[in-house]
Amino acid sequence: MAARRRSRLGTRRRAASRALRRFGRRAVARTRANIVRLRRPALVVVGVIALATILGVGAFAASGFYGQYGAPRTPVSVRSWQLRPASYLASDCRGCHSDAAAATTGQPHARLLCETCHVPSVAHPGPVTGVVQMLPATDESDCVVCHAALPGRPVDFSQVAVDVHYAGAECLACHDPHTSTAVKPREVIHPLAHLPPCATCHTPLGLKAYPANHEPAPDEVCLACHRVGAGGS
Amino acid sequence: MTDQPDVLAPLAQPAAPAQSPISRRTLLKAAAVGVPCLIGGGAIFEALSALTSTPVPTVDPIVANYDAAAHRWGFVVDAVACIGCGKCVVACKTENGVPLDEEHTRTWIERRTVTTAGAVIVQSPEAGSYGFEEAALPIAAADVAASQFVARLCMQCELSPCTTVCPVGATFRAADGVILVDETRCIGCGYCVVACPYGARYLVPAGARTPTGVAGVADKCTFCYHRVTRGQQPACVEVCPVQARKFGDLNDPASEVSVILRDRATRVLRPELGTKPRVHYLGLEDRLA
């Protein structure tokens, strides 16, 4: 490599000395100065044109919002925001479900979105014509998730200690989630001092029938709601 | 040759270009013809493609028929009203297809408790999805000095560390202030997850539930961007039974969030970081902020 460069340099020098012999020292020096003078502006012009080309092509190639959101984005890259359907529609459920609407009117749960307890209304069976299916209803855990007494919960918020307030009973046995009002089970002041199992006497057709919406149940189920007062065990 | 005079040495240099296969003259000629051709060709190509394809939206390329620049979304969490029921977390996971576990979540609820001794206990069982009934406080009730539910989500910071560190520009801020993740560009390096001082980001695990259909990319709360760009409220705001989450346009002076931020004392989480969150908290206890 070094040898080659040396021989090239030798060639140049031989050419230069030939030029010197042929045109004279002054002419050679003048030509050289002219070349240097010409070369710099020419390089600048070429550079400017090249830069303008790059920027110009870039400006055409890039989309109109280049720089606004970083590098250009294609419609493909934003599809997740455009195509994702909403599940919670905040629909006008009460427009059709007038019974529930009437029940909640003026009640604490009136301000709730139906979808807060029922499932997202995207699961609703389409435009409502003909047979209407109920959305899956709420279950017990949906009551305590809000209304169980907990540290951290605002003190003025309606809440109960679930292990004290009719422990073991189902919320929906007494409470209607739409009206939020409770039908308080009757408290019993029983005539007998030592009680046999409730179902001994209280049967559908027995001594003292219980309401039709009750089913035969062990004592603890009965006593979960019907507090036995004085005279009871 | 060694006794050549010094005056010949400079001559060696200008002679060199003569040996180049393309002379300067040729190059300049080619440039003089080629550059206008390139520019002209580009212009013709552009004009043709503009004629044949749909025009690039000038206002907002993110969602059609939505002018991001016209909005400035704000969010207020009422820490006094929050009952910690977790309906918002469930709604978020349902609406956005977020994984159901605790670590991978866009929003979560913390119960922050400060003891009489001054220690702070933070609990968030299952991200608060199922409430806090099962989560007993590890201290006696008498030792609780203050306890509060604090709903957490992406703060959509004005000076966001996540967008700063993203090496590929996948996460970016829309004109309305919402920070989004372009899942087609994200390489899943996790820098943003680490950079976020609020822990609001996670990498989507491989599994059935993926918010954007892609696993291995960063994900976070988008203020339910697919909803708000259609004029709806975020899912968590919709379902909150006690209106502890409020969302609205700060450009609208009559919106609820504007009124709250104007009239009431709010605070942001970790203001000392200077991230300027867009999520503001009402009634956050001093000791729990």
Tell me the domain boundaries of chain B: 61-159+217-288
- Compute the half-sphere exposure of residue A215: CA atoms within 13 Å on the CB side of its CA: 1
Higher pLDDT, B26 or B201: B201
What would the CATH number be for the domain defined by B61-159+217-288?
3.30.70.20
The rounded mean pLDDT for chain B is 87
Chain B nearest-CA residue for A9: B12
**Phi and psi (nearest 5°) for B181?**
-120, 125
> Does the ipTM exceed 0.90?
no
Report CB contact under 8 Å: B185, A73: yes
Residue appearing with tokens 């994900």: B219
Asked if B183 and A77 come within 8 Å (Cβ–Cβ), the reply is: yes
User: Torsion over CA of B37, A51, B46 and B54, rounded to 10 degrees?
Assistant: 170
Question: Which residues in chain A touch residue B114, judged by CB atoms under 8 angstroms apart?
Answer: none
Helix (H, G, I), strand (E, B) or coil at B270: coil
Interface with chain A: mutation pick from B184, B210, B245, highest number of A CBs within 10 Å = B184
Query: Which residues sit opposite B282 in a β-bridge?
Result: B78, B266
Structure tokens at B237: 């705001």
Residue B163: both structure tokens together: 């967008």
pLDDT of residue B85: 93
Among B56, B57, B84, select the one facing A150 at the smallest CB separation. Answer: B84
The CA distance from B142 to the nearest CA of chain A, in Å, is: 11
Checking if the pLDDT of B244 tops 80, the result is yes
Give the minimum alpha-carbon distance from A183 to chain B in angstroms, rounded to a whole number. 23
pTM recorded for the entire structure: 0.70
* Residue-wise pLDDT tens digits, A15-65: 777 877 888 888 878 887 777 776 677 788 888 999 988 887 776 665 554
Residues of A in contact with B111 (CB under 8 A): 151-152
B224 touches B96 (CB < 8 A): yes
Q: Are A12 and B233 a contacting pair at CB < 8 A?
A: no
Q: For B257-283, how does the pLDDT look when each residue is reduced to its tens digit (9 = 90+)? A: 999 999 999 999 999 999 999 999 999
CB contact under 8 A, A57 and B81: no
Chain B hits for A108, Cβ within 8 Å: none
Q: Which residues contact B204 (CB under 8 A, 6 or more apart)?
A: B99, B104, B210, B211, B212, B214, B215, B216, B217, B218, B219
pLDDT at site B1: 47
Model pLDDT, residue A71: 54
* Per-residue pLDDT tens digits for A160-195: 998 888 877 778 878 888 887 777 777 777 777 677
Q: Chain B: nearest CA to A203, how far in angstroms?
A: 37
More confident residue, A214 or A156: A156
- Chain A nearest C-alpha distance from B242 (Å): 8
What confidence tier does A137 reach under pLDDT thresholds 50, 70, 90?
low
Task: Encode burial over B202-216: b for 16+ CB neighbours within 10 A, e otherwise.
Answer: bbbeeeeebbbeebe
Residue type, B267: R
CA–CA separation, B241 vs B243, rounded Å? 6
Q: Is the CB of A88 less than 8 angstroms away from the CB of B45?
A: no
- pLDDT tens digits, one per residue of B16-74: 555 667 788 888 988 898 888 888 888 888 777 777 655 443 334 556 678 888 999 99
Question: Does residue B125 carry a pLDDT above 90?
Answer: yes
SS3 label, residue A47: helix
